[in-house]
Structures are given as C-alpha cells and as structure tokens.
Amino acid sequence: MHIGAITILVPDYDAGLDFFVGKLGFELVEDRPQGEGKRFVVVAAAGSVETRLRLAKATKPDQVAAIGRQAGGRVLLFLESDDFDRDHAAFKAAGVVFLEEPRVTDFGKVALFSDPFGGKWELVGQFSR
C-alpha cells in the first residue's frame, strides 16, 4: 500500500496551481471540471509516481478557517530533494518564502518554507546512504 493523494485546502484552484506548478515545479496530473465551479485538481512533485496532492477549494467557513492550518501550525509536508542546493535556489528564485536559512541536521540539509496560504513545508536534502 501507499498514500495516493493528500488533500490541500486552497482559497482558489488557480492560486494553488500558481504556487505548486508555477513556483515549486510540480506537474499537473489532472484538472477536470466537476460542475458548479468545482474542479478535480491533482498535482505531483516532478518525478513522483505515488503520492499526489489534491487541491481542494475551500467553500465552507470551517474549510476556509483551516487553510494553511491543516497541521495545527506544524510542518504539514516534507519535500525530499535529490539536490537540495539546486531546489533551494530554484524555489528562492521563483519567490518561495523561506522561514529560515538552510541548516544541516544529522540526516541532511533542511529549510522551512511556507506556501502562500500559510502551510508550512520542509525542503529536505538527504545525505547519501
């Protein structure tokens, strides 16, 4: 088994695509209308074959309140990189907001960043094993 998709609440589908595809370089897997302004939007990190993100437009007050807070203020997702320095530089050039400078841990380089909706992410570059 594996996790196929994780739902990320966004205020607007296009704003979500602008960040995930436009800034992080994710691939658009699917963007299909579902009627009444709803869309089925799925993105995945470049090269990812299993885990995908389903971008869901928040429409109810409790959903809107949860945007960017889906992990209760903690890091929601960890984006593993095969070349930390390359990806960190590309993200910064694309306007991704990092909340700290890269740091070295016992498992590799890491840097905390946020999406434009308030969600926290960690870019992780693992040491060779």
Please tell me whether the overall predicted TM-score, pTM, comes out greater than 0.95 for this model.
Answer: no
CA distance 45 to 84: 14
Helix (H) or strand (E) holding 112: strand 108-114
CA distance 43 to 79: 14
Q: Which fold has domain 1-67?
A: 2,3-Dihydroxybiphenyl 1,2-Dioxygenase; domain 1 (3.10.180)
What's the mean pLDDT when you consider all of the chain?
Answer: 94
Provide the pLDDT for residue 128: 56
The closest of 40, 11, 37, 41 to 26, measured between CA atoms, is: 41
Low-confidence ranges of the chain (pLDDT < 50): 129
Provide the pLDDT for residue 127: 65
Architecture of 70-129 per CATH? Answer: Roll (3.10)
Give me the residue spans of the domains in the chain.
Answer: 1-67, 70-129
Domains 1-67 and 70-129 equal at CATH topology level: yes
